[in-house]
Each structure stands twice: as C-alpha cells, then as structure tokens.
Structure 1
Amino acid sequence: MAQKVTPYLWFQGDLQDALDLYTSVFDDAEVLSTTERDGGLFAATFRMGGIQLTGFNAPGGPRFTDAMSLFVDCADQAEVDHYWDALLAGGGTPTQCGWLVDRFGVSWQVVPRRLMELLEDPDPERAQRATAEMLTQVKLDVARLEAAADGTLG
C-alpha cells in the first residue's frame, strides 16, 4: 500500500547535497526519482528510515524550523552516536535533549529507544529522574539516563 502522508521538504538549492548526506547516513536510503528543470535538480523523491519523502529545490523559499523535525529511533548508544555525528557533519548544530539541526536546516531528534522506555516507567520517580537528566543533555547518553533513573548518577 502506498504511503498516505509524505513529508515534503523545501531545500534552498542544496537538495543534491542533502540527498548525498542522507543516503550515506541511512543504510536503507535511496533516491527513487528526480526531476530536472533548467539544467538542475528541481525535486526528488527518496526513502530513508522506511519512509518516503519528497525534496523540493528552490532558493529563496521558507526556511525549516524546529516546528517540524524528523525523529530517529535508535536501538542503542552506538546508533545515537552514528546518527548524531553523521547528521552534524559539515556544519550542523547540536541543540538540546537529543535535537540537532543539520547543515541544511532540517531539525532532527536522535533518540535512544531506552529513553522512551525510561520516560514510560511505571515508577513516576524513575521517569522523573530520567526526564530531569534528559533536560541537561545535548546528545543523549543512555548510561547517564539509566543511572539517573536508578538514582545512582553521581
């Protein structure tokens, strides 16, 4: 079945560079189709992380904001480190609580699955301690989040 809703990203003339980055970062990423106009890349449909997206290439349009982000579900700290470092490469900006902005202005949340488990812990005090620790971090650190939840963070 075709995907019903497709994120549509407006790039400022650097769509090809974004495609190059995203296809190098995500193992399953692929460019599905491209449209050329006036001798350059105008649009592309691509897949990464199991979803299809469309990129549009038109300088001078609206910029990305944190009001829309792409969430990367990471199995462990190694995945967090991989995606974090790769998406920051070439001029991205780390922000807070696992958020970053890549060099094209796209906001990402790079989140270990373990954080979501800790935030949903049936013990509200464990969940609160994990939340408090998350709020102090930039790139999320699974070991520190677990230690905070356990009340053993020194």
Structure 2
Amino acid sequence: MFRIFIALILIAGPAFARERVQIAGLADPVVIGEASLGVIGITAYDARLYTPNGAPFDWASPMALELDYKRGFSAQDLLRGTETEIRRIEGDTNDIPTVISLLSTCFYAVEDGDSYIAVGNSSDQIDLWRNGTQTCTVTYPDIRKRFLSIWLSDDSRFTSLSRKLRGL
C-alpha cells in the first residue's frame, strides 16, 4: 500500500506543478529544464523552467519559472537579493530603483515547501504567484528579461543552474 502511495505522489507531483503553472497563465506548459540551487550542501530551492509545449528557450517567447523553496527567506531577503542580482547583471542603470519599487509588492516570506512562479507571457510584463495566489503583476519595459535574467542569463551568478534551466 505504501509503495502505491509513493508511486501516486511521484506521478501526480509533476502534473500538479504543471497545473499550477497553467493556472498562473502559461498556456500548455512543459518543463524544459530543472535544477537545484545549493550552497555548501544546503539546498535553497528547486527550480523548473516551463515553455509552451516545451519550445526551446528564447527570450522573445513566453515562459514561466517555478521555484520550490527548501528553506525560509524573509520578503526583505527576497527583494534585496533581487536588487543585488539585477545590479550585478546590469550595472547601476538609472531605472533600477523604479524596477525594485515595482517589484516590492510582489514578495512575501517563504518557508520550506512554499513556491513562487514568475510568468512572462510578454516581454513587458511578469506575473508573480506564491503558493497558487497571485501576488502582483509588474508592467515595465523588458521586465521579463530583466527579472528572469537572475536565473536564466549567461551572466547569472550560477551559470550551471542557468544552463540546466534553459535545457542546455
């Protein structure tokens, strides 16, 4: 009986994740890459990148990034980390305070088991969802690439994670 239960969980897990991403607004989501971020043996989160019908990664196309947290972070930690990484990737562009201000309403504290999904159906908009509830919509020029570059750019802090997520 226990083996049947485990088998059902293993089968239902990916379907449930796909459903969450579909509810968040990405049509026909299929995982094209996944990776875990861990530092010194401590996993921070598992990440999956979805595209419609499993299309190859392309900055010009819709996508969704799902992060399943394995440890807790405060909302301030998430926002501060976002700002740090955008500045590191882009340099000190004049509009970073505006971008961070727009993102400031998106983040809530996370604990082990919580998830965030960032859906970018267009280059100028992202929708963030925490545990199945939408936390914000940010509309700003090129916001999809600017935000998701933290995980998906060749200039990401963790290039191996970035390449795995992009299916490379």
**What TM-score does the superposition give when structure 2 sets the normalisation length?**
0.25
Structure with larger Rg = 1
- Of structures 1 and 2, the one scoring higher in RCO (CA 8 A, sep 6+) is 2
